[in-house]
Structure 1
Amino acid sequence: MSTDTLFRRINDYASRPDPYPLYAELRENGVARQEDGSYLIGTYDEITALLHDPRISSDVRHRDNADELLAGEEAATRSFIALDDPEHDRLRRLAMRQFGPPHTPGRIDALRQEITEIAEDLARRLPEKDRIDIVDDFAFPLPVTVICRLLGVPEEDVPQVHTWADTVVAGFDFTPGEDSGARRRAALEARQAMGIYLGELARTRREKPTGDMLSQLANDQGPDGRLTDQELMTSATLLLIAGHETTVNLITNGVLTLGRQPEALQRLGAEPALMPSAVEELLRYEPPVQFLPQRTPLADIDVGGVTIPKGSPLILVLAAGSRDPLRFPDPDRFLPDREDNQHLGFGSGVHSCFGAPLARLETQIALTVLLRHLGSWRLLADPPEYRRSPVLRGPRHLPVERATPR
């Protein structure tokens, strides 16, 4: 089959349960120009080089169809992940000051006990019936609760935040024949409503700080100055959405993978100290973010002997790179103790996910607690029902059954 249809085939919902044969086809063919004029890259070394190449832009204003992509959206409302340096660098550094090292090195580790308590509470409240939906009953509420507490969202407002977040994330999904514009508009409206809410909350925290992360973002007077009201709204919205969405998929993909790998599951039960390494392997083997669809060359560039013209849409298929046999021995096997595991699960370069330490910690705790409380269990659907999004790939539902009631 022609490689110029690869992206269409990857996006086909029928490929969601197992896109990896398509990723192997991509790697075998090197750079693959698509029927819409975009270019797919799926090899580890090339992806890594491009993620560190300053000629590759994350700003959609450089795309040929920028007007269409930005329709109804002011540039000021876009988060720093959709900007280039120096704008990106300044906003990222302002957010990072309150999120982790070097300015707040203990923030994430200090959450360990609280995350464990939240996970334990959710696990104790799992339905008494033997059938459990891992997504709805555990994987979704855990990271949402954690990020809301980290930011300082009042408990009574969390359900509304859940609703907004669901709508925003649904903007990444699609259904063939559906008006995708309506879905994107709904997502934009939800993101704007969330931003307004968080902006108002931040303004109260400027007057009366409460020690949470939003208070510190609102009042920080570091060397880069203070976030404007608009920047604070946008950055807080990004932190809330990104701070839970990929973690939901990572936890769920982890349960699915272990349900398919009884030997690995048994080994983790016997050697719990392996869990951090196992989570790194999950990020390589079944990453929650499959590819980065918004990259644009600012000049003609050569990738693997192919010249990619300036302005062409560039799609970096991270999940394909993380299974590149030239980088990872036996890449299609899940090995919880894999060494030298420099996967692309959190990207790389200046746009690497700065929430990675939190996602790692949450997933390590989540899987440890959940597996202990489940006891013996089995998957009830394999493959399960997947979400529509080919980018944020994970099961929409993951029903499991306890083999022995607890």
Structure 2
Amino acid sequence: MQNNNNAPTTNIDLMSADLAADPWPQLHALRELGPLVWHEQHRRWLVTTDAAVRQVALDYTHFTVEGTVVEDLFGSDAFIAMDDRARHNALREVWADAFRPLALRDLREELGSLLGELMAPLLARLRDGETVDLSAALCRPLPTMVIARMMGVPRESLADVVRWSDAMAGGSTSFLDEAARQAAVDAREAAKASLAELLLQLMRERREHPAGDLISLMMHADIARELSEEQIVPNVRQLLFAGNETTAKWLDHIFLTYAQRPAVRREISADRALVVPANEEIMRWQGVVGTLPRRVRGAAVTIGGVTMAEGDDVTCLLAAANRDPARYARPDELDIHRERQPNLGFGAGLHNCLGAALARLEAELAVNALLDAVPDYSAEADYSYSSLPLRGPTPVTITAINS
């Protein structure tokens, strides 16, 4: 892999704490260089603009997810890491109906019950004047409890699921030096193995005794008859991981943003029809998944006057694309009244997020529940951000404001 185009180059540290804290000036500078920028240290192309990112994400002929860190994280048998459209669709469709908005309407009451369970002790502490870590008390456990319940994972396993998911997330990037990368990969692989052991036990139980949950659906689907247990596990594991890790970080972004912008918080508190578009704007404006890896295959391909060779590694900078002025007016501003313009926060194309509608429902209900109980709150300034590939602030510690 090499840059033979005289294309712009960079050695930006995409894993630095400084960039995680405020990535926007550096991502703006990268985007100004052009739609494709060559990263000299990591020997890969960075894709910076909305149009170019969408071109890569939607071109399954010239760009593959196979052989990237996505495959390393989830395994080659996971549908999120395969380009075989027929096989991908057969696996994804096993669960697709359960995540469609119409199906999720029936989940609202159950979600409300889970929210009430989590918020009762949280609210008691806030009313006593305590400062509460909303990340630990609500943002992290809620999506984990929801996806675990949908899958039939026992509650006593949830602490392990969170710990293993965090370790997997930490090993999901190519932008580390060799020593740090190896340590992260070792932790990731150990977590994947532990999670697989738990899921394999549940899969065998559901094969004998189906329970109407998502694991049961997979174990009794037509496609499962063609697969070994070792091929099914990566698909079940990816669902459990994706259903808790990314939504938790989005909730952290949402609640921190509303703490830092009291005028916005009061506006949506007064008009709850604004909650959904406001949450969506935060997904664009801050985002969680900041990078999307691909690899050039089949032949060289040219984007924006830059030619990438077969086998070249490519990283789409979703975070940069979501603030592209060619798509969004005043992209660095948070505008909850912005004209609806779909962003890349949940991906695009074949591998877009299966659980996007569920994540949106969780965010909508969680925001409404907190605003009902604590319409005014402030956040402490002791948070920090995880790295750009999977970025979120923690801890989000809040104090109720007595008005």
- What one-letter code is carried by the residue in structure 1 that aligns with 2:84? D
CA distance in 2, matches of 1:123, 1:184: 35
Q: Which aligned pairs between 1:2-401 and structure 2 lie closer than 5 A?
A: 4-8=9-13, 10-30=14-34, 31-36=36-41, 37-54=43-60, 55-60=62-67, 78-86=77-85, 89-100=86-97, 106-126=102-122, 128=125, 129-172=129-172, 179-221=180-222, 227-381=227-381, 384-387=383-386, 389-401=387-399
Contact preservation (8 Å) 1:281, 1:341:
no
Identity of aligned residues (%): 30
Contact preservation (8 Å) 1:253, 1:286:
yes
Tell me the TM-score normalized by structure 1.
0.88
CA distance in 2, matches of 1:342, 1:195: 35
Write the deviation string for residues 131-188 of structure 1: whole angstroms up to 9, x where unpaired.
1112111100100111110100122222332332232223248987953312211211
- What one-letter code is carried by the residue in structure 2 that aligns with 1:98? W
CA distance in 2, matches of 1:114, 1:7: 45
Deviates more, 1:150-159 or 1:294-303: 294-303
- What one-letter code is carried by the residue in structure 1 that aligns with 2:329? P
CA distance in 2, matches of 1:75, 1:256: 34
- What one-letter code is carried by the residue in structure 1 that aligns with 2:161? V
Contact preservation (8 Å) 1:124, 1:373:
no
Aligned residue for 2:222, secondary structure, equals coil
CA distance in 1, matches of 2:385, 2:220: 41
Q: Quickly say closer, same or farther: Cα 1:203–1:214, change in 2 above 3 A.
A: same
- What one-letter code is carried by the residue in structure 2 that aligns with 1:305? G
CA distance in 1, matches of 2:297, 2:314: 7
Aligned residue for 2:325, secondary structure, equals coil
CA distance in 2, matches of 1:374, 1:119: 14
Aligned residue for 2:217, secondary structure, equals helix
Q: Quickly say closer, same or farther: Cα 1:143–1:349, change in 2 above 3 A.
A: same
CA distance in 2, matches of 1:197, 1:121: 25
Deviates more, 1:145-154 or 1:367-376: 367-376
Aligned residue for 1:179, secondary structure, equals helix
Aligned residue for 1:293, secondary structure, equals strand
- What one-letter code is carried by the residue in structure 2 that aligns with 1:403? I
Contact preservation (8 Å) 2:290, 2:317:
yes
Deviates more, 1:49-58 or 1:333-342: 333-342
- What one-letter code is carried by the residue in structure 1 that aligns with 2:63? I
Contact preservation (8 Å) 1:386, 1:397:
no
Contact preservation (8 Å) 1:209, 1:215:
yes
Deviates more, 1:255-264 or 1:43-52: 255-264
Query: How far is 1:196 from its partner?
Result: 2.1
Aligned residue for 1:11, secondary structure, equals coil
- What one-letter code is carried by the residue in structure 2 that aligns with 1:7? I
Deviates more, 1:237-246 or 1:170-179: 170-179
Write the deviation string for residues 384-406 of structure 1: whole angstroms up to 9, x where unpaired.
2122x32000013112222239x
Query: How far is 1:297 from its partner?
Result: 4.2
Q: Quickly say closer, same or farther: Cα 1:24–1:152, change in 2 above 3 A.
A: same
Q: Quickly say closer, same or farther: Cα 1:164–1:273, change in 2 above 3 A.
A: same
Deviates more, 1:328-337 or 1:124-133: 124-133
Query: How far is 1:274 from its partner?
Result: 1.4
Contact preservation (8 Å) 1:57, 1:298:
no
Write the deviation string for residues 76-118 of structure 1: whole angstroms up to 9, x where unpaired.
5x522222224xx42443233323279x774322211111221
Write the deviation string for residues 264-309 of structure 1: whole angstroms up to 9, x where unpaired.
1111001101111112211211111111134434421111111112
Deviates more, 1:306-315 or 1:118-127: 118-127
CA distance in 2, matches of 1:209, 1:116: 26
CA distance in 2, matches of 1:355, 1:279: 16
Structure 1 runs of 4+ aligned residues shifted over 6 Å read 173-177
Contact preservation (8 Å) 2:75, 2:234:
no
- What one-letter code is carried by the residue in structure 2 that aligns with 1:252? D
Deviates more, 1:132-141 or 1:10-19: 10-19
CA RMSD of aligned residues (A): 2.7
Q: Quickly say closer, same or farther: Cα 1:75–1:403, change in 2 above 3 A.
A: closer
Aligned residue for 1:370, secondary structure, equals helix
Contact preservation (8 Å) 1:133, 1:400:
yes
May I ask how many residue pairs the two structures share in their alignment? 389
